[in-house]
Amino acid sequence: MSNPFASRTGITVVGFAIGITATLLQYFGNPPNMGICVACFERDIAGGLGLHRAAVVQYIRPEIIGFVIGAFIAALLAKEYRPRGGSAPLVRFFLGVFAMIGALVFLGCPWRALLRLAGGDWNAMTGLAGLATGIGAGVLFLKSGYSLGRAQTQKPAAGTLFPVFMAGLFLLLVFQVTFSEGGPIFFSQKGPGSQHAPLLISLGAGLLVGAIAQRSRFCTMGALRDVILLRDFHLMSGVAGLLVAAFAMNFILGQFKPGFASQPIAHTDHLWNFLGMALAGLAFALAGGCPGRQLFLSGEGDLDAGIFALGMIVGAGVSHNFAMASSPAGAAAFGPAGVIVGFIFCLAVGFTMRERA
Amino acid sequence: MSATRVDARGLSCPQPVVLTSKAIEAGAESLEVLVDNEVSKENVLRLAKRHKMQTSVHEEGPDIVIEIKT
């Protein structure tokens, strides 16, 4: 095959590389069991921009910027840059909002669920079980003809918008502009938002992961979906690679601390860990990709994926402003309500949006 | 016998594979699948390989046509 990354070996190696990169980022300063977490890092960006005022989770994460721009460059070089969009953008925006609300009840995206497991945080197991359940529900919709409709080809310049937006965030990060007294850009002085690897290491890691993930089509949601839907283990070998590499690296770096209680940036509310991730999984399945994959797609010109990512960033603001995001103490006051509203929305989307064959 | 035509252009992952899979399960022995991107092409080819079917690929303008035969 002309694209070696798209082979079984290719995707396994990519998963392995992501596992190593993520655990090394923790070693270099990123929060524990959060070397790379797309949901958490988009939430930190939302905080940095002042879309929420949770003071401990505000930072413009260069990894996210790197993901999009790395995928953009890789797609350009491989002649796969192809601006497209127009497949129910507003529906995708709200899928992003509710995906984030669910992920922040659990406290992590699928990538972080894997990294938490690899760090010995056994609460990740209920989260991953929820994720699989949500994706399983999404598969039932896909089997019965669920579709958000076709995307159309867009003008070449349109696809550069999301990478340019990311470049703009990078400038805000580098110059740390203060827009008003006590105003944005916010940078956490303590808490997870203050824990980060050096800027260039984070950016480099993001660019690398963005490029190889674009080439290999690495997707954690797709991995579970393809196993359930098609008995196809191709993408799952990437997830397995990530998990094995992260386990090994955590042992080597002394980052493996097994147990349920007192895990970093996690809680032991099993019911809401499960349901939060189930909501996220369903939303990812309906939108066609995990949060990481949506960023790589937006880099290669998928405007709808860009809309989903923006939905997640706004969703993070909503989640923290309306007391829905969990804390290490457990689910927040309005977290369960947010998850229930999210389920109602996702089920309505699943039942009403379908192609008549 | 004419080939069953599956138009999966503009559809996002995994719909091209789902539509192709449904056509194969419905008993189609000869298929023509239209896609418009590399990822869909790779996925459909992987599906055909799992069904141990013959494939050939050619381009028609901006589209990719995948012919699948038992």
Domain boundaries, given as residue ranges, for chain A: 4-352
Contact status, residue A110 vs residue A290, Cβ threshold 8 Å: yes
Could you tell me the pLDDT band of residue A49, with boundaries at 50, 70 and 90? Answer: very high
Amino acid type, B66:
I
By C-alpha distance, which of B69, B41, B15, B63 is closest to A1?
Answer: B41
Q: Provide ipTM, 2 decimals.
A: 0.92
Contact status, residue A97 vs residue A338, Cβ threshold 8 Å: no
Residues of B in contact with A222 (CB under 8 A): 13-14
Give the Cα separation of A83 and A156 in Å (integer): 6
Q: Using the beta-carbon criterion (under 8 Å), do B12 and A87 form an inter-chain contact?
A: yes
Contact status, residue A33 vs residue A161, Cβ threshold 8 Å: no
For residue B39, the distance in angstroms to the closest alpha carbon of chain A comes to 8
Give the Cα separation of A48 and A65 in Å (integer): 14
Q: Using the beta-carbon criterion (under 8 Å), do A151 and B13 form an inter-chain contact?
A: no
Give the Cα separation of A229 and A85 in Å (integer): 25
For residue A84, the cross-strand partners are A153, A302
Give the Cα separation of A188 and A55 in Å (integer): 6
Q: How do strand B30-35 and strand B4-7 relate by DSSP bridges?
A: parallel
Q: Using the beta-carbon criterion (under 8 Å), do B21 and A230 form an inter-chain contact?
A: yes
Contact status, residue A45 vs residue A313, Cβ threshold 8 Å: yes
- CATH class given for the domain over B4-69: alpha beta
Cβ atoms within 10 Å of A86's Cβ, excluding its own: 14
Between the CA of residue A342 and those of A118, A142, A178, A208, what are the distances in Å?
29, 19, 35, 33
A289 touches chain B (CB under 8 A): yes
Shortest CB distance from B10 goes to which of A78, A150, A226?
A150
Q: How do strand B63-69 and strand B54-60 relate by DSSP bridges?
A: antiparallel
By C-alpha distance, which of A7, A350, A284 is closest to A132?
Answer: A284
Residues 16-35 on B with a CB inside 8 Å of A are 17-18, 21
The confidence score (pLDDT) of residue A279 equals: 98
The confidence score (pLDDT) of residue A1 equals: 46
B9 touches chain A (CB under 8 A): yes
For A96-149, what is each residue's pLDDT tens digit?
999 999 999 999 999 999 999 999 999 999 999 999 999 999 999 999 999 999
Could you tell me the pLDDT band of residue B70, with boundaries at 50, 70 and 90? Answer: confident
Whole-model pTM? 0.96
The confidence score (pLDDT) of residue A357 equals: 52
Contact status, residue A214 vs residue A70, Cβ threshold 8 Å: yes
A286 touches chain B (CB under 8 A): no
Contact status, residue A242 vs residue A152, Cβ threshold 8 Å: no
H-run or E-run covering A14 = helix A8-27
Could you tell me the pLDDT band of residue A2, with boundaries at 50, 70 and 90? Answer: confident
Residues of A in contact with B55 (CB under 8 A): none
B13 touches chain A (CB under 8 A): yes
Q: Using the beta-carbon criterion (under 8 Å), do A84 and B47 form an inter-chain contact?
A: no
Three-class SS state of A253:
coil
Shortest CB distance from B13 goes to which of A143, A150, A222?
A222
Q: Using the beta-carbon criterion (under 8 Å), do A222 and B14 form an inter-chain contact?
A: yes
For residue B68, the cross-strand partners are B31, B55
Residues of B in contact with A223 (CB under 8 A): none
Shortest CB distance from B17 goes to which of A80, A151, A230?
A230
For residue A235, the distance in angstroms to the closest alpha carbon of chain B comes to 11
The size of chain B, in residues, is 70
Exposed (0-12), middle (13-18) or buried (19+): which is B67, by Cβ within 10 Å?
middle
Give the Cα separation of A172 and A152 in Å (integer): 33
Could you tell me the pLDDT band of residue B2, with boundaries at 50, 70 and 90? Answer: confident
Between the CA of residue A158 and those of A93, A207, A314, what are the distances in Å?
18, 21, 21
Write the CB contacts of A103 (distance below 8 Å, at least 6 apart in sequence).
Answer: A39, A109, A276, A277, A280, A291
Mean of all residue pLDDT scores within chain A: 96
